[in-house]
Amino acid sequence: MSDDPQLVRKFQRELNAGTVSLVLLAILGHAAEPMYGYQIAKQLEAVEDGSGMFKQGTLYPVLRNMAAAGLLESEVEPSITGPPRRYYRITPRGREVLAAWRRAWDTTRDLVDALLT
Amino acid sequence: MSDDPQLVRKFQRELNAGTVSLVLLAILGHAAEPMYGYQIAKQLEAVEDGSGMFKQGTLYPVLRNMAAAGLLESEVEPSITGPPRRYYRITPRGREVLAAWRRAWDTTRDLVDALLT
């Protein structure tokens, strides 16, 4: 059974591939103000409760990809305490995609849960 | 917005990458007898209610991969009505992996749902 952890890690990676973008877009969809990467990571960490699902390093490429796809806008601002920060906000297009992704997530989740019981 | 459907399809593909293996393993975990691919596809179709999440052609490679990983055993049996059928059953190792995947799914689902609300 020594390679079971590997199969579980692979499964978790596959689950994350879809869900990390959804979760990031949802956080920025709720945010009252633009957020920078570290802020988002901290908010995720508070919710995930040590499960380590979202590694900080994996968030940045996802944010950049979503910005490239027009779902987010970003702006660099100087910081008093360190290097400049890139702030992200959701675009109107991002809100439309978020709504569609939520529907896809709800359907898939319900289907998987129905088949698991 | 003409490319939004593409972003939704990509998201759905990513979600499916993780969940199809889980769902197939769960169906075989519940099955009282070995099942062949078409039987499994019909059972999935009945539950998914036309959403088209599980295309029959995508199930066969997943079944083969899980057999190669020792999660399933298979056996070919002749059929009166057509070509021989490959019957799959879950292995003890498959049951262990199924239990671990379910835990990973439950955790991820709850986390995503918590972040979406």
Instruction: Give the CATH number for residue B80.
Output: 1.10.10.10
Test B104 with A48 for CB contact under 8 angstroms: no
What are the DSSP E strand ranges found in chain B? 35-36, 72-77, 85-90
Q: What is the pLDDT of residue A1?
A: 45
* Nearest chain A alpha carbon to B49: A111
Q: Is the minimum CB–CB distance between A110 and chain B shorter than 8 Å? A: no
Name chain B contacts of A10, Cβ cutoff 8 Å.
Answer: none
Mutation site, B3, B9, B10, B19, interface A, largest A CB count within 10 A: B19
Q: pLDDT tens digits for B34-85?
A: 999 999 998 888 887 766 677 777 889 999 999 999 999 999 999 898 899 9
Indicate whether this model's pTM tops 0.95: no
Q: Which of A90, A105, A110 is nearest to A15 (CA)?
A: A105
Q: What is the pLDDT of residue B51?
A: 65
CA angle (B11, B6, A95) in 5-degree steps = 70
Give the separation between CA B42 and CA A26, rounded to whole angstroms.
35
Nearest by CB to A8, from B11, B104, B114: name it. Answer: B104
Q: What is the largest CA-CA distance in chain A?
A: 53
Q: Is A35 helix (H, G, I), strand (E, B) or coil?
A: strand
Domain with B65, as residue range(s), is: 4-116
Count of domains for chain A? 1
Element (H, E) at B80: none
Q: Is the minimum CB–CB distance between B99 and chain A shorter than 8 Å? A: no
Q: Is the minimum CB–CB distance between A16 and chain B shorter than 8 Å? A: yes
% of chain A surpassing 70 pLDDT: 93
Q: What is the pLDDT of residue B54?
A: 73
Q: pLDDT tens digits for A72-105?
A: 999 999 989 889 999 999 999 999 999 999 999 9
ipTM: 0.88
